[in-house]
Amino acid sequence: MVQWLRRLFKYDRQGTGEIAVLVATQSLVPEGEVSPAAPPPMPAMPAAPTDTAGVSWLIREEINANFTSWLFARSDYTDLQSSRTEQTILATLREILDSPQSGAQLVRRMPGVIPQLLQSLRTDDFSGADLSRKISHDVVLVAEVIRLANSSRYAQHEAITSIEHAVMVLGQSGLRHLITTVAFRPIIDVKSGYFTRAIAPRIWDHSEHCAIASRLLAQQTGMNGFDAFLAGLVQNVGLIVSLRVMDQSAEGGEALGSAGFCNQLIALARKLSCSIGREWNFPPEVLTAIEEQAIVQRHVSQSTVGRNLSMADYLSKLNLLVQAERKVEDAACTQGLSESELACYVELKALTENSTG
């Protein structure tokens, strides 16, 4: 399936192509499972700690705790003891991990029209009229296409009000980015449970920001941009699946999110992401990078993609917490960042401000 994604986006090894691949779904059946590969051998040098580029370990842990508290809409993160309900949720997630199935069956499938659109966009000689006709069958997609076409990135002298005009303005790369984003965004409707409705949008915001940051950092270091982007986006798939377990185990509005619960939840969710990723046939480098994020020890050597993902995860969390006014000292938390990491953070902030402005 990964090869299908690579063909769709015609990725170049330098990472300069337009990358917009989001999480795959059960609609695309993998040819076979791929066993997770061990992390690639590191150079002969001292193992690098996960607190990359001089960022304080304590600050990183503070950001992680503040972030999970924000996810669950808690005012602080001093509640260390997990409740009985939280323990039940964690036990259920462990059962899913120990079962023969990966948990991929808990991930919602794509809307029916999306696979047709992606298939149409695989070739360079796609028909604008045909795409317009297919897009018109999905009201949400129609709104998103017109909204993006009228955004500052594609600024026109006149407002765009038709699908045909929007398709022409966006072009193939713009449509690929938009359609995949809409296709794989968590489906949240009135039938979703309390925790899915409340938390999934925040997790998705982090997924998008982390994927963008991961790609930006990868481009600056010559890393494989496709793997970096995919790792940033897919690492939270298990966490989104976990919300459905919470909906089934807890009463609507029941307080969840203690520090003890969140610490175990994030580690289990990352492992679940890897399990689902293996069923979807994602690159071993991506799975290794995500799995490395579940290790909480201070000094642990990581793969190249893993270190990149760790920093992207930190920068995206910091950006979201600052925007949410979660009592985060921006200057203190950026101290120790390299020039390229600081530039990435600045770009993330600009993207967030533009989208909310």
What are 264-283's pLDDT values in tens digits? Answer: 999 999 999 888 878 766 77
- Which of 348, 301, 352, 302 is CA-nearest to residue 324? 352
CA distance 85 to 263: 15
Which residue in 299, 227, 237 sits closest to 271, CA to CA? 237
Lowest mean pLDDT among 56-65, 145-154, 307-316: 145-154
pLDDT at 192 over 50: yes
| Model confidence pLDDT, tens digit, residues 29-61 | 333 434 344 444 433 333 333 444 478 888 998
Residue for token pair 């006709």: 133
Q: For the stretch 156-175, what's the b/e string if a residue is b when 16 or more beta carbons lie within 10 angstroms of its beta carbon?
A: eeeebeebebbbebbebebb
Q: What is the DSSP letter of 100?
A: S
Residue 258 has pLDDT above 80, yes or no: yes
Non-local (6+) Cβ contacts of 229 within 8 A are 19, 21, 211, 212, 214, 215, 218
**What's the whole-number average pLDDT of the chain?**
75
- Which of the residue ranges 9-13, 84-88, 143-147 would you say has the lowest mean pLDDT? 9-13
Between CA 167 and CA 15 the distance in angstroms is 25
- Where do you find CATH 1.10.3210 in the chain? 49-108+191-357
Of 1.10.287, 3.30.460, 1.10.10, 1.10.3210, the CATH number of 49-108+191-357 is: 1.10.3210
Q: Which residues neighbour 124 within 8 Å (Cβ) at sequence distance 6 or greater?
A: 172
pTM of the model: 0.68
Determine which helix (DSSP H) or strand (DSSP E) holds 229, and give its type and residue range: helix 225-234
